[in-house]
Amino acid sequence: MSIDWAALGQVFGISLAVTVAMVGVFTLGIVGSSRKAAPEQGGTAAAMPGGAVGASPLARTGAYACFAVCAAVVAYGIYLIVA
């Protein structure tokens, strides 16, 4: 009996890397498009995409870039399912 350890290892490695990368990039997008938690509560709770108050233009641009990367990966995922 031959267990395909190589394939299993590949699945593990790729899954770990892609999951962490995707979640990380998406979180950066969320962090970039929302403002720091201010000590005073209240204000606009609308975090994304348009109503980000307090996020600098640079951070917001970076955040959109992060979301674009995520969208591209999702598109690739759909491609994998269809193909």
The answer to whether 60 touches 32, Cβ cutoff 8 Å, is yes
**Does residue 34 touch another protein according to CB under 8 A?**
yes
Token pair in block for residue 13? 């490695």
**Does residue 68 touch another protein according to CB under 8 A?**
no
Sign of CA dihedral 21, 24, 30, 35: negative
**Does residue 15 touch another protein according to CB under 8 A?**
yes
> Residues interacting with another protein, by CB under 8 A?
1, 3-4, 7-8, 10-12, 14-16, 18-20, 22-24, 26-31, 33-37, 45-48, 70, 74, 77-78, 80-82
